[in-house]
Amino acid sequence: MLDLSLAQARAALRARKLSARELTGAYLSAIDSLNERLNAYVLVTPDAALAHADAADASLARGEQGNLTGIPLAIKDLFCTRGIRTTAGSRILGNFIPPYESTVTENLLRDGAVFLGKANMDEFAMGSSNMTSAFGAVTNPWTRHGDNRPLVPGGSSGGSAAAVAARLALGATATDTGGSIRQPASFCGIAGIKPTYGRCSRWGVVAFASSLDQAGPLARTVEDAAILLGSMSGYDAKDSTSANVAVPDFAAACARGVKGLRIGVPREYRSDGMPPEIEALWQQGQQWLREQGAAIVDVSLPHTKYALATYYIVAPAEASSNLARYDGVRFGLRVDGGDLGELYENTRAEGFGAEVKRRVLIGTYVLSAGYYDAYYLKAQKVRALILKDFTDAFQHCDALLTPTAPSAAFGQGEKMDDPVTMYLNDVFTVPANMAGTPGLSVPAGLDAQGLPLGLQVLGRPFDEETVFAVGAAIERAAGFSARPSILAK
């Protein structure tokens, strides 16, 4: 039952061959047996899940079917859930219980989804390995051939990705500020899309870098991700950057095919240090699309080399400003001091982890008088050039194909000594955040050690349909059916 895709499970629920209670029960037992090893969930809510499953069964019995009626999901702990603890992976939010529901999770509930619990994540979504969570690391359900050492699931949506890959959820919500949906999707052998900035409401999503943050789904197939995005998306007056555009039928777009499409291959993504296996998979992806009738064209995104450096100015700058609200006064952790200043200092010193402190310091520095023009303002100008690169490239092609990440999953504790080594993970994903364009990671193959590798499809703003069409074509050709090592026995 746990191997059914979301689309298959939905069909079985609608045909009443399967009840939502059975399906949710099966997922809750899987969580019982594997979550201790994976640490993918920081909170499991079995009673609420079963109550929602029963309500789903009752509506299915009445012939009422929402897009997701009875579908069990994991919710990244960055989304506020009414009455259910929401921590952003940080000690500073302590026992914060939101009195309101984020718009994205509200939309999912409206469509009948069942929430299994809250997924682990890097603290405040800052990271690429899920090593910075206050709740401890998440373990990737995949291991290398003949080597049991634990690997990272990627980050920051590592709990969501590990849960979906290990069959502890049928799908999950995630967020992507610089790659946090696509990189963990690639590391865990699943699909994930960061839609166009503005497609999903940010209301009720704990803010990291507001001009970059975007919610999106993680799922085991491209079509499943499309089905989930259909429910998550939509205009929301409560988010001033929410786009008032129609939500198309993303799932239908998966069947369109790629005949006649022009797929750009950006030459700047061909980095010197790229492992040969990733380069080969990228070539293979181009071949798969050619075989299905697409034309492959060479394109240039000349400012790519500045994207990572620019991101690591803009994102910390916005984070330092967003995180100023965690002062111990109105909610979350409070550590008292002799006066108000000391209360702030003690609370923030104890509440934030090392990576979050590093970002706040960098962000405060690049925004401070005298440095603002040299760093933040300059970065904003480069950001405009990065966007222009994409606009120019999309004059010549309908979508772009790149690798998702420069490596497969690495070991827990690796790349921890030098933050820049960790930041380099994001080299292929951050440009789409800087430009606000959609990006999908599709599981496309395994490396020689048996670890999954993803290919990334980038598209024009608000043209997720073409992105899904191309992604589904790659998925069909790749026929990726390998299962995580943890499920082998």
Interface positions with ligand GLN (CB under 6 A): 125-128, 156, 176-180, 208, 315, 426
3-class state of residue 175 by DSSP: strand
Q: Specify the residue, 27 or 428, whose C-beta has the smaller distance to ligand GLN.
A: 428
Q: Min. distance of Cβ 359 from ligand GLN in angstroms?
A: 8
3-class state of residue 440 by DSSP: strand
Q: Min. distance of Cβ 354 from ligand GLN in angstroms?
A: 13
Q: Specify the residue, 266 or 363, whose C-beta has the smaller distance to ligand GLN.
A: 363
**Cα-Cα end-to-end distance for the chain:** 16
Q: Tell me how far apart the alpha carbons of residues 261 and 2 are, in angstroms, rounded to a whole number.
A: 35
Q: Min. distance of Cβ 480 from ligand GLN in angstroms?
A: 23
Q: Following DSSP, what letter does each residue of 345-365 receive, concatenated?
A: HHHHHHHS-HHHHHHHHHHHH
Q: Specify the residue, 24 or 133, whose C-beta has the smaller distance to ligand GLN.
A: 133
Q: Specify the residue, 164 or 289, whose C-beta has the smaller distance to ligand GLN.
A: 164
Q: Specify the residue, 124 or 462, whose C-beta has the smaller distance to ligand GLN.
A: 124
Per-residue burial over 259-271, b = 16 or more CB atoms within 10 Å of its CB, e = otherwise: eebebbbbebbee
Q: Following DSSP, what letter does each residue of 217-263 receive, concatenated?
A: EEESSHHHHHHHHHHH----TTSTT--------HHHHTTS--TT-EE
Q: Min. distance of Cβ 315 from ligand GLN in angstroms?
A: 5
Q: Specify the residue, 181 or 469, whose C-beta has the smaller distance to ligand GLN.
A: 181
- The residue among 207, 433, 213 whose CA lies nearest residue 322 is 207
Catalytic residue list contains 231:
no
* Cis previous bond, 33, omega within 30: no
Give kind and range of the element (H or E) at residue 450.
Answer: none
Q: Min. distance of Cβ 24 from ligand GLN in angstroms?
A: 29
CA atoms within 13 A on the CB side of 233: 26
**330 CB-contact burial (10 Å; exposed 0-12 / middle 13-18 / buried 19+):** exposed
Catalytic residue list contains 381:
no
Q: Tell me how far apart the alpha carbons of residues 462 and 468 are, in angstroms, rounded to a whole number.
A: 12
Q: Tell me how far apart the alpha carbons of residues 207 and 210 are, in angstroms, rounded to a whole number.
A: 6
Q: Min. distance of Cβ 92 from ligand GLN in angstroms?
A: 17
Active-site residue (options: 156, 242, 320, 407): 156
Active-site residue (options: 129, 157, 160, 180): 180
The residues that are catalytic are: 76, 156, 180
